[in-house]
């Protein structure tokens, strides 16, 4: 089997991409899709083991990938790592800032260490990677950056730290799109809603129950697949998106638009599902019927 991308084969032949948080979840899926389109993919993350597994998977599928263990909170390490990527690979056409992390907590109970850790990863890490990519390649050669954020448009109760960070990245996306346009750099973002991903396993059962309730209220009446998010990311990297910059694409089944209605809506949506990722991770069994 191979990745069933909606984009044409060989689209990114000769291109080099960095995908942060590329060892699991959405980042892993994006790395697979880019590699299936001919891109050389550098998958980055803090843990070497998942990165090695993704590199092996992509190689088995006929693609080209390399692992880059990296803590994006460390600005000096990020700068050195991206300089080395350019030196070794000769270019850096695309950056997908997917790495992030958060935990569920009432705002009043978030401790300073937890707050700083989330802001440092989701906001500062995105900035360090973007700035280093611009400094070492894109300032002179152009390129495309896509930031993966979240559905934080109406606040983010239960995750105030990541809501604040993701909102900041949305604003950063707009700023960089303006400042770096003269360098031939496009900067966009993708804001997923709730995604049927291996990341769901990181949350406790009570939070998972809330997810199920919220899923039923989403106009699409289901979660997104990793491939549906990846295809939005990949589109923004394509030449077809050449006139799109400073924009955030919402991939949330209209969840960010959902409001209290005066009449009941159907609990099951007829919206079709796209899932081209042939190596999709295991997800909690309770969600499987909603995907089928």
What is the per-residue pLDDT for 148? 98
* pLDDT above 60 for 289: no
d(CA 161, CA 207): 17
pLDDT band at residue 283 using 50, 70 and 90 as cut-offs: low
Q: What is the pLDDT of residues 231-248, one digit of tens each?
A: 999 999 999 999 999 999
d(CA 246, CA 131): 16
What is the per-residue pLDDT for 252? 92
* pLDDT above 50 for 77: yes
d(CA 192, CA 228): 9
Q: What is the pLDDT of residues 255-279, one digit of tens each?
A: 888 765 544 556 666 778 888 888 8
What is the per-residue pLDDT for 103? 85
What is the per-residue pLDDT for 146? 98
What is the per-residue pLDDT for 262? 46
Burial 7-22 (b: 16+ CB within 10 A, else e): beeebbeebbbbbbbb
What is the per-residue pLDDT for 90? 98
Cα 37–22–19 angle (5° rounding)?
Answer: 60
pLDDT band at residue 63 using 50, 70 and 90 as cut-offs: very high
d(CA 261, CA 268): 16
d(CA 253, CA 275): 15
What is the per-residue pLDDT for 268? 63
- Poorest-confidence range of 43-52, 141-150, 249-258? 249-258
What is the per-residue pLDDT for 198? 64
Q: What is the pLDDT of residues 13-39, one digit of tens each?
A: 999 999 999 999 999 999 999 999 999
What is the per-residue pLDDT for 106? 87
Classify residue 168 as left (phi > 0), alpha (psi -120 to 50) or beta.
alpha
Domains of the chain: residue spans and CATH: 16-278 (3.40.50.720)
pLDDT band at residue 215 using 50, 70 and 90 as cut-offs: low
Note the pTM of the prediction, 2 decimals: 0.88
pLDDT, mean over the chain? 90
**What's the rounded mean pLDDT across residues 269-290?**
72
What is the per-residue pLDDT for 230? 97
What is the per-residue pLDDT for 196? 73
Nearest Cα to Cα of residue 21 among 125, 151, 167? 125
Helix-strand-coil split of the chain, %, nearest 5:
50, 15, 35
Residue ranges with strand state E in the chain: 16-20, 40-45, 64-69, 94-97, 143-148, 185-192, 195-196, 224-225, 248-251
């Amino acid at each position: 089997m191979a990745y069933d991308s909606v984009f044409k084969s060989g689209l990114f032949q000769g291109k080099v991409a960095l995908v942060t948080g590329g060892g699991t979840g959405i980042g892993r899926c994006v790395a697979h899709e880019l590699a299936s389109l001919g891109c050389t993919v550098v998958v980055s993350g803090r843990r070497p083991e998942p990165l090695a597994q993704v590199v092996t998977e992509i190689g088995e599928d006929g693609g080209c990938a390399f692992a880059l263990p990296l803590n994006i909170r460390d600005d000096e390490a990020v700068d050195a790592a991206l300089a080395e990527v350019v030196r070794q690979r000769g270019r850096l056409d695309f950056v997908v800032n997917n790495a992030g992390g958060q935990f569920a907590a009432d705002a009043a109970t978030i401790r300073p260490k937890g707050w700083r850790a989330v802001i440092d990863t989701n906001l500062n890490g995105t900035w360090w990677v973007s700035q280093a990519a611009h400094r070492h390649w894109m300032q002179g050669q152009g390129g495309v950056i896509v930031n993966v954020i979240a559905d934080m448009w109406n606040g983010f109760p239960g995750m105030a730290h990541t809501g604040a960070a993701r909102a900041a990245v949305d604003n950063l996306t707009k700023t960089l799109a303006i400042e770096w346009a003269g360098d031939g750099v496009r900067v966009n973002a993708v804001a997923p809603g709730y995604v049927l991903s291996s990341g769901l396993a990181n949350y406790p059962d009570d939070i998972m129950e809330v997810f199920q309730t919220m899923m039923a209220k989403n106009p699409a009446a289901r979660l997104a697949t990793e491939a549906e998010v990846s295809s939005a990311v990949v589109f923004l990297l394509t030449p077809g998106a050449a006139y799109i910059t400073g924009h955030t694409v919402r991939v949330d089944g209209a969840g960010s638009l959902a409001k209290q209605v005066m009449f009941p809506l159907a609990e099951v949506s007829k919206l079709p599902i796209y899932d081209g990722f042939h190596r999709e991770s295991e997800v909690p069994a309770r969600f499987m019927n909603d995907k089928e």
